[in-house]
Structure 1
Amino acid sequence: MKIAVLVSGGGTNLQALIDYEKSHADCPYHIALVISNTKNAYALERAKNAGIPAEIRSPFSVLGKENAEKATRDEKRIAISDAILDLCRKYQIEAIVLAGYLSVLGGSIINEYSGKIINLHPALLPKFGGVGMWGHNVHEAVLASGEKESGCTVHLVDSGCDTGKILVQKKVPVLPGDTPESLYERIAPEEHKAMIEGVCILASMNKN
């Protein structure tokens, strides 16, 4: 299954997927493309080092500086989503993986790749999902709520925000004295496992 991995930052989950593909002859997926919505994402360097084609699709690159500054959040979101859809068609991508991608896809791409887009979320959905719940915001909310456990979720992407069918969850305890940073450090290795499992499940679901 040819996948595109969408990234915004360091790309540690992308690296986990790269390493798994390289070390498993029977890996059910092939990373054919990496797309970032920021030009400074270190994930782009990881793609380059692995010899994977990489593209940037940001509001500025898609709309131009002047139009991007005038556009609403939804207009930017749809413009980027449509640009990503064009790239996925060009590279004959079969499924899309959101690996720390800090934007929301919308429009035609959701329909065209229905059941073929997964996202990694740094909490145990359906808790701590939705608009504004990303990165350390999630870990801060978990700690503030007094939860005894947290973790991560890989789910199918639909037209909502963090609302699609759950495929994989990994749990970790919340410990006394935890900070958002220490909780993240405990969850991160589980994210890598969940990401690989989620993509393998997606591949099995979409066998021709």
Structure 2
Amino acid sequence: MKSQHLKLGFLASRNGSSMRAILEAIRIGILDAEARLVVSNNRSAPALEAATAAGVQTLHLPTQADPDAADAALAKAMVEAGVEWIVLSGYLRRLGPKTLAAYRDRILNIHPGPIPAFGGEGMYGRRVHEAVVAAGVAASAITIHLVDEEYDHGAVLAVREVPLEPGETAESLEARLTRLEPEVFVETLQRLASGQLALS
């Protein structure tokens, strides 16, 4: 697969830590990409402020009152902004059918644990780390995967294994993975842009 210039859209509900790292990677020239649009369902999301400061177009799009209308509006906004790949950076809403259809195999999410073992509906944030520690497994993982109609179900693109340390707690594991997640997302997009990561 040949290299490509990535035209990115972002969805974030809160801080958008991975989004911030990706924007910085673009700014300093280590990622061949451009950010076209940042959308949040939360008007006060710090991610929107960060995007504005970086000169990226933003959109607040409430989803709860009319999810179908929000889905249609999201797909339309992304297409009109010229977005070719959507990055989820802590987006806490399920994507609707119009957005999923418009960006089939073009939506990337990061999950703070191994999937499918520690994925699925309701498995996000601290809950994942609690389940990993309770299971007594030797390692957790940061997983980048494509998004489809099921939670944490799409094809896995990248995995960074993170061994558990003696006396590990959900809190300590969460802190370590949270520090690593942005770096893993940037690396995955670099591989995608360079053609090293080929999607079928």
Q: Structure 1-normalised TM-score?
A: 0.85
Cα offset, 1:147, TM superposition: 1.6
Provide the C-alpha distance between the structure 1 equivalents of 2:130 and 2:70, rounded to a whole number of angstroms.
29
Contact 1:2–1:93, Cα closer than 8 Å, also in 2: yes
Amino acid at match of 1:7: A
The alpha-carbon deviation at position 197 of structure 1 amounts to: 2.2
Residue number among 154, 161, 171 corresponding to 1:164 in the alignment: 154
1:134-176 superposed Cα distances (whole Å, 9 cap, x missing partner) = 1111111111111221121111112221111111111112223
Q: Give the match's secondary structure for 1:140.
A: helix
Which residue number in structure 1 is paired with residue 62 of structure 2?
58
- For 2:27, the equivalent position in structure 1 comes to 22
Contact in 1 for aligned 2:31/2:189 (Cα 8 Å): no
Unmatched segments (≥5 aa) in structure 1: 61-67, 69-74
Counterpart of 1:128 in 2: which secondary structure? coil
How many correspondences in the alignment? Answer: 192
Query: What letter matches 1:28 in structure 2?
Result: D
Match of 1:41 in 2: 45
Percentage of identical aligned residues:
36
SS in 1 for 2:72: helix
Partner of 1:86: 76
| CA distance, structure 2, for counterparts of residue 199 and residue 79 of structure 1 | 30
Query: Which structure carries more relative contact order (alpha carbon 8 Å, separation 6+)?
Result: 2
SS in 1 for 2:154: coil
Verify the 8 A CA contact 1:168 1:197 in the aligned structure 2: no
SS of the equivalent of 1:162 reads coil
Shift of 1:206: 8.1
Q: Secondary structure in 2 aligned to 1:59?
A: coil
CA distance in 2, matches of 1:202, 1:101: 21
- TM-score, normalization: structure 2? 0.88
**Is residue 2:178 matched to residue 1:188?**
yes
Structure 2 residue runs of 5 or longer lacking an equivalent are 1-5
* Distance in 2 (alpha carbons) for counterparts of 1:198 and 1:82: 28
C-alpha distance in 2 between matches for 1:175 and 1:80:
43
Q: Which residue does the alignment assign to 1:117?
A: 107
CA RMSD after TM alignment: 1.9
State the 4+ residue runs in structure 1 displaced beyond 6 angstroms.
none
Structure 2 residue 113 is matched with structure 1 residue 128: no
Q: Deviations over 1:45-97 (max 9, x none)?
A: 2112111111111225xxxxxxx2xxxxxx62x43322210111221111111
Q: Show CA shifts across 1:96-136 (max 9, x none).
A: 11111111212122122112111111111122111001111
Instruction: State the alpha-carbon separation in 1 of the partners of residues 22 and 99 from structure 2.
Output: 23
Structure holding more helix per residue: 1
